[in-house]
Each structure stands twice: as C-alpha cells, then as structure tokens.
Amino acid sequence: MLDDMFDHMAGLRDRPVWSPPPAEARARFREPLPEGPGDLAEAYASFQRDILPFGSGNAHPGFMGWAQGAGAPVGMLAEMLAAGLNSNLGGRDHMPIEVERQVLAWVRRMFGFPETASGLFVTGASQANFVAVLIARTRALGAEVRRAGLASGAPRLTAYASRGVHGCVPRALDMAGIGADALRLIEVDADHRMDLAALKAAIAKDRRAGFTPFLVVGTAGTVDVGAIDDLHGLADIAAAEALAFHVDGALGALAVLSPELAPKLAGIERCDSLAFDFHKWGHVPYDAGYILVSDADLHRATFASPAAYLARAERGLAAGDWWPCDYGPDLSRGFRALKTWFTLKTYGADALGAAMAANCGLAQALAARIDATPELERLAPVALNVVCFRHRFLSDVQNAELVADLQVAGEVAPSLTTLGGRTAIRAALVNHRTRLEDVETLVESVLSRGRAMLSAMAEEATR
C-alpha cells in the first residue's frame, strides 16, 4: 500500500487532475453492511480500482480550484504512525499531548503571539472561526452566557467583517446563537480590503441603535480574491472600540513563513485570535485546522467543564496540566499534531514559506499573461495567490461552462466565483507541485476552449 501511494504521488502528472467517478464504481459502494469478515486484499483492490483514480484531484499540479492544500508524503507517513498509535488527544498524561504543545509553541512564535497564548488543532478554519466567535461571546458577556444562553434580555451583539468574508463566519455566529444577521458586512476598497471608515460608521450606527458591538473579523486572504485586510488598521479600531479582534487566516496566514510575504500580514500579531489551516498552504494532509488565542484564560473559560470522569489526578494517567478538551468543543481528538510536527521537522518552515512565495510568483505571472491577452480580462488585483479573470467574448454562463469543460478535460482544474456580478474563472495557486507550465496550460486551455465555443456559436448563427 505504501509503495503504491508513493507511485501514485510520483505519477500525479501522468493522470488527469480529476475524473468523474463512473456509475459502476458508485454502484459498488451501495452494498449492504458486510456481516462476516472479508478479504483485505479484495478491499484494497476495490480501493485501487474505485477510489484512488477518482479523488478530487487537489494533490495534482493542475488543481487550481477553491483553496485546497496538496499534501506532502511526510504527512502521509505520519498519518500511518498516528493511526497505528491511535491516541486520543482530548487530554491525560501522554507524550502525544506534548507533541501538540510543541506545535503550539511553534505556532505562537510564527505569529508573534505571547508565550502564554493558547491554541488547539481543530478540523479546519470553519471550526476555528466558530471557536473564536464563542470566545469573543464570553469576552463580551462573561462565562455566565454558557449557562444562561442568549435568551431574552441579553445584549444584542453585533460583529463586523468585510463583504469578502468566508461564509463560515456568518455560520459561526448562527451556531453561537447570535444569529448570522448580527454580522455586518462592510464595504471593501478597490483592493477588496475592508473600508475602515465604513467599519467605524457601522459600529457607531449600531451603538446608536442600542446594539452591543463585540467583534471585528479581519481576513488574511479572502476566499474569492486573496485580499488581506489592513490588520493594523483593524487592530486600532478594535482597541479604540474595545472589541475583540479575530483574524480568519485560513487561506493566507501561513505566509508569515515567507520573509517576502510576511510584511503583507503586518498586524496579525495584534489579533485576539487567529484561525488558519495547516491543511491548506501548510500541506499537512487533511484535516489540520488551528485556532490560536492570545488570552488562554478566556479561551479556557469558554470551554472547560467540570465532569467527574474528567477530573485531574496528581499522578497516573489522569495527571497532566494541559488537556485540550478544556479549549474546544471536542473531547475525543485525533493526533493531528503528529503530521504537522513531522511536516515542520522534515521540510522546515523556510521551505514551506518558499513554496508559498513561489505560488505567489506564479500568480503574478498568470496575472501578467492575462493582462497581455486581449481575449482575457482580469477581475481583481492579485495580492497573494488567487487570480480571477474571464474570457471577454463569452457570456457568464459560457465562462462557467468553459470551467466545467476544463475540469472534465482533466489537464487543469480552476473553479468559479462571482465578482461584481460577473462570473469569474478563479485560479488559486496553493499547490507546491504547480509550475509555470501548468499556469501556461491554464491560459492556453481557456483560449483554445474559448475559440472552440466561439466558432461553434458562429457556425450555429449561419445555419
């Protein structure tokens, strides 16, 4: 199995980015529960035939859709070790917990957080943003809110984020019982960064109307275009208004590892909490989200619960002074820290940062190529690793069809978004395996597919 997976990784370029799962393969996964034992070799043969060739393709150098990490072989090996050990990292006194603490110490350093800051692996930035909203809720209303909830009489909390905020942030407010409507979506400037004057005006307006502003969410790499909010500006406003300042850095925060890119994230060290993903630009295999919190006491006060079965002992297995279950919603937790530790130990932070800078270089090259091509129109500035554009001579529907055609053809797989009411072809260059030739292939494929669509239209018109 190990050899086959190495071969699979080594041969990524020789296969399509994505192949739609065939009906026969899907049908074979509609079988009844196996009651008796089966043959491992047969199960593995099913994996090789029906699963392996039909993944989502994010490991492939031609994958440019959404915002997905490519993974790296060292993380795969660590996953095997972690599964073999099968540790539960909810708490208790064992060495895997020390590995998670080691990663926490590294994460504090990466982001310039105090030595007392707390942090935790979670599934992904969606969950990390949710944890951050709950901590900000405790900060605003006190830990009492955990018992009393937000029933009648509670202050009407409001939060603020740019129009480009990821959908998991309103959902976090929804899940926290505050309601997605409490998130005010602030206009952005030409660079898709939150308009600070509009933010101040929105806070003032809410205060006048009797709301209780409690949280500003900045984004370090918006999902649509990769824009980075003015984090110092947001930190200043949050401090002046006594609001919690959270940063969603799912897409871009790890760029602090590149000396070239780090200045774009200036001010990130001033946030109260930071959500980011090792499974995106850190190339740790899914899943490996992270929440970093400057005030460990507040963090703990948001989650720790007394329970007889979780009582700490002076000695024995129930000893240990740092139990992750005190800092998040999960009790049973896997060993996400191990694959992250192995990734950082083996490749080193500099190599990860260099791969990110290379992705941003490719994004600039792609932007330049688009700007020099009359058929193509760029739809947003390129601050980081995301490039949005369209084929000028095709309608929105046709641009969307073109993207689906490229995905099916399997050479490159961009995704779609909507910017200013227009359909955009979106290339997020996250993959350390992607090279200039892949970016060239994207442009050439869009142009040749576009030509084919236009000539089919012309033919149709003459009929």
Ligand X SMILES: Cc1ncc(COP(=O)(O)O)c(C=O)c1O
- Would you say 234 or 443 has its CB closer to ligand X? 234
HSE of 36 in the Cβ direction (CA atoms, 13 Å)? Answer: 1
Stretch that binds ligand X, among 218-226, 298-306, 373-381, 434-442 (CB under 6 A): 218-226
- Would you say 169 or 376 has its CB closer to ligand X? 169
Nearest to 170 by CA among 180, 178, 181, 158: 180
Q: Closest approach of Cβ 313 to ligand X, in Å?
A: 35
423 DSSP β-pair partners: 418
Residue position matching structure tokens 């041969």:
11
Angle at 109 between CA 348 and CA 86, to 5 degrees: 65
Q: Closest approach of Cβ 275 to ligand X, in Å?
A: 7
Among 125, 237, 293, 384, binds ligand X (CB under 6 A): 125
- Would you say 68 or 158 has its CB closer to ligand X? 68
Q: Closest approach of Cβ 417 to ligand X, in Å?
A: 11
Residue 53 backbone class (left: φ over 0; alpha: ψ -120 to 50; beta: rest):
alpha
Query: Under the criterion CB under 6 A, does residue 231 sit at the interface with ligand X?
Result: no
Q: Closest approach of Cβ 222 to ligand X, in Å?
A: 6
- Would you say 125 or 453 has its CB closer to ligand X? 125
Per-residue DSSP letters for 285-314? PS--EEEEES-HHHHHHHH----GGG---S
Token readout for 450 is 């576009």
Q: DSSP class of residue 421?
A: T
- Would you say 194 or 251 has its CB closer to ligand X? 251
Distance between CA atoms of residues 159 and 370, nearest Å: 37
Distance between CA atoms of residues 186 and 196, nearest Å: 9
Q: Closest approach of Cβ 197 to ligand X, in Å?
A: 23
Residue position matching structure tokens 């095997």:
80
- Would you say 126 or 431 has its CB closer to ligand X? 126
Q: Closest approach of Cβ 161 to ligand X, in Å?
A: 10
Q: Which residue is nearest to ligand X (CB)?
A: 124
Among 17, 67, 257, 344, binds ligand X (CB under 6 A): 67
Residues 264-303 that bind ligand X (CB under 6 A): 277, 289
Q: Strand pairing of 376-378 and 386-391?
A: antiparallel
The footprint of ligand X (CB under 6 A) covers 67, 124-126, 166, 168, 219, 221-223, 248, 250-251, 277, 289
